[in-house]
């Protein structure tokens, strides 16, 4: 095992790479290196997230949370995508880079596959949120289309199609990676080739990729939520007028109550996505306007890394949203926690004469 980092491959770009930051490469200022290491340690503290997402997948898959089949499938798909993001992004990328850099996971072909997987599942996590938002928009605002679109078969087809297309979209990235080091004819680590930033084809691909995730989802979710809010306000006024409800009255309306629960779930999930991805979107727009992506001061460096941290954090918050907004989900969690204890007590009672 090497005690110091070997020299980079000839012709390697001078743009600081993640490994340069973590091992203290000479091109990284001390303050930026320290702040990046602290933030990466925060990211590495997220491996408990797989357990959180697994709990959500198991409980939602049982279909006892009072949600429709299509809603349940979207939520399960989102939880599964978030679980894969934590595995590929946090564990196989960040933790591997920080703690197990000289493992087989850092050999260039393996590293390139990990890069493709982590980007593909991140896209799936984002776009599954978009498909869920659109499904709820149709259910609330488009009653004629609701019966045809908001079904279990349609949701399965939409999720499968989106997943396959997003995976295919990221496959070309495998061929844009090259090793950082070559030791004893073994290529180590992987970074984009220099032509990825200059070749018109790859530049266009990178722009398409960035617009697809997260700029377009960001805009679509904001638009759908705005249209949903407008429809709800209009429908609420009409319904109050038809039922003759005055301003001082608070009659129980099962239809509005059901719609309210659906809207709360929709807005908390999409709002969580917008808030936690906002830093990444602002960071991208700022550097595209100023053109200072490789010449950042200390604040800009921290802002960029905080964006990555919040983006990864968004993959383990939906379960807590379900627990806060869905009473039946909380009941299922309580039952799951109590089950092992009650089983042990039953065995003890049976064994005691």
Cβ contacts of residue 176 below 8 Å, gap of 6+?
Answer: 192, 193, 196, 202
Dihedral in degrees, nearest 10, Cα atoms 130, 268, 329, 324: 160
- State residue 172's pLDDT score: 94
Is the pTM for the entire model greater than 0.75? Answer: yes
Segments in the chain below pLDDT 70: 1-49, 239-259, 291-298, 352-353
CA gap 155, 202 in Å, rounded: 33
- State residue 80's pLDDT score: 94
Residue linked to tokens 């930033």: 197
CA gap 280, 310 in Å, rounded: 8
What is the tens place of the pLDDT at every residue in 90-109? 889 888 888 888 899 999 99
- State residue 15's pLDDT score: 35
Q: Rounded to whole angstroms, what are the CA distances from 162 to 100, 125, 132, 175, 264? A: 33, 10, 12, 22, 25
Question: Which helix (H) or strand (E) covers residue 345, if one does?
Answer: helix 327-351
CA gap 163, 128 in Å, rounded: 8
First to last CA, the chain: 61
- State residue 150's pLDDT score: 92
Dihedral in degrees, nearest 10, Cα atoms 304, 308, 313, 316: 160
Measured from the Cβ of residue 256, the count of other Cβ atoms closer than 10 Å reads 17
Q: Are 7 and 180 in contact (CB under 8 A)?
A: no
Q: Rounded to whole angstroms, what are the CA distances from 28 to 17, 36, 37, 99? A: 9, 10, 12, 19
CA gap 236, 244 in Å, rounded: 12
- Pair of tokens at residue 288: 């595209």
- State residue 19's pLDDT score: 38
CA gap 236, 152 in Å, rounded: 28
- State residue 120's pLDDT score: 95
- State residue 256's pLDDT score: 66
């Amino acid at each position: 095992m090497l005690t110091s980092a070997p020299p980079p491959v000839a012709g390697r770009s001078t743009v600081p790479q993640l490994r340069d930051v973590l091992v203290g490469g000479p091109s990284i200022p001390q303050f930026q290196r320290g702040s990046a290491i602290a933030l990466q340690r925060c990211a590495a503290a997220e491996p408990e997230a797989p357990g959180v997402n697994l709990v959500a997948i198991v409980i939602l898959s049982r279909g006892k949370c009072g949600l429709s089949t299509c809603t349940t499938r979207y939520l399960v798909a989102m939880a599964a995508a978030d679980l894969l993001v934590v595995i590929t992004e946090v564990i196989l990328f960040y933790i591997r880079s920080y703690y197990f850099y000289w493992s087989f996971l850092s050999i260039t072909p393996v590293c390139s596959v990990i890069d493709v997987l982590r980007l593909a599942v991140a896209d799936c996590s984002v776009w599954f949120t978009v498909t869920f938002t659109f499904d709820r928009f149709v259910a609330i605002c488009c009653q004629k289309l609701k019966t045809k679109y908001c079904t279990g078969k349609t949701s399965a087809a939409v999720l499968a199609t989106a997943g396959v297309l997003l995976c295919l979209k990221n496959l070309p990235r495998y061929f844009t990676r090259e090793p950082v080091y070559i030791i004893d004819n073994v290529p180590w680590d992987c970074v984009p080739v220099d032509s990825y930033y200059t070749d018109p084809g790859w530049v266009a691909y990178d722009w398409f990729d960035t617009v697809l995730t997260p700029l377009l989802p960001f805009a679509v979710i904001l638009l759908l939520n705005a249209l949903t809010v407008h429809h709800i306000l209009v429908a609420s006024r009409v319904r109050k007028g038809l039922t003759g409800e005055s301003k001082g009255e608070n009659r129980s309306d099962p239809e509005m109550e059901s719609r309210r629960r659906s809207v709360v779930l929709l807005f908390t999930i999409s709002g969580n996505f917008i808030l936690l991805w906002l830093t990444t979107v602002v960071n991208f727009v700022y550097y595209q306007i100023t053109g200072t992506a490789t010449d950042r001061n200390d604040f800009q460096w921290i802002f960029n890394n905080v964006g990555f941290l919040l983006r990864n954090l968004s993959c383990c918050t939906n379960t807590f949203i379900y627990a806060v907004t869905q009473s039946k989900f909380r009941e299922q969690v309580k039952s799951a926690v109590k089950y092992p204890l009650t089983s042990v007590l039953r065995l003890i009672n049976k064994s005691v004469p």
